[in-house]
Amino acid sequence: MKIGFVGLGNMGAPMATNLAKAGHMVTGYDPAGVTAERVIVAETLEGAVRGQAAVITMLPNGAIVRAVHDDIARLAEPGALLVDCSTVDVDSARAVHGIALDAGLLSLDAPVSGGTGGAAAGTLTFMVGGGADAFAKGQPLFEIMGQKAVLCGEAGAGQAAKICNNMILGISMIGVCEAFHLADRLGLDRQAMFDVASTSSGSCWSLNTYCPAPGIGPKSPADNDYRPGFAAELMLKDLNLSQEAADVSGAATELGRHARDIYAGFVEAGGKGRDFSAILEKLTAR
């Protein structure tokens, strides 16, 4: 398939490379001029979009996603599939679907979970919103870039699922970090705490798979001086999105709001550029 890929950052570049390695003809464009292995370089957005059967975007925020898709809709081939893998607000996702529909294009909002490691390894999870026909056309691409793709519903449902999932993640990581901090203060060995909690009712992904304590459990960013697999400022972005959605929908998300405030303080106090699990380091420094 001929594929255009717009946004070749830390996530987009390895995703585009995996598609190219699988035999697809991938043309990439990034306004910052960055490139990706095996991906044909386009000097303009038009060069990445014209003549493509599918165009995938991985962009920073909703305003940029809307603006870029206004341009893509003018340039894309009739019937082309647009797949936006950015993490943005639900309203922006729905607006992009409307832009695509008006232009006679298929559209999916398909944010991802799995971080830069999952993007490189091709093990991402895609949470997808859109029609069944568009999803069927995008499924072979999801199978290359990830290990699972779930059609969550109509336009915007993928973003809704991503926001809810990452609110759980932010809350649970803080809980795990606080538990290790309390264990330290009580004189409980961290390995013993992990061995008990990871196999009992405290078991969760933030503990079992992505343990924030260095040297405990499977290897994680904690074992690499908290260099980010998922940066704290990106967690803050997602928690902000969850609270914006909660305000609009009238949902009660007290823990989500408190987690947002904790990450806001952490990023402001020097946590930017560190993994979101470095909350533990902040607690233990007290």
Which amino acid, residue 233? Answer: E
146-153 and 106-109: which strand pairing? unpaired
Active site residue 282: no
Let me know: does 151 contact 202? Beta carbons within 8 Å. no
Nearest to 90 by CA among 233, 251, 231, 229: 251
* H-type alpha helices, 86-156: 90-102, 115-121, 132-145
Find the catalytic residue in 162, 219, 272, 282.
Answer: 162
Distance CA 190, CA 173 (A): 16
Instruction: Tokens for 7, please give them.
Output: 């946004």
Under 8 Å between Cβ of 54 and 1: yes
Of 255, 275, 248, nearest in space to 116 by CA = 275
Residue 266 vs residues 4, 98, 256: alpha-carbon distances, Å = 37, 37, 15
Q: Find where tokens 């679907």 sit.
A: 97
Q: How far is Cα 125 from Cα 119, in angstroms, rounded to an integer?
A: 10
Running DSSP on this structure, what letter comes out for residue 274?
S
Q: What is the CA radius of gyration of the chain?
A: 20
Which residues have a catalytic role annotated?
A: 162
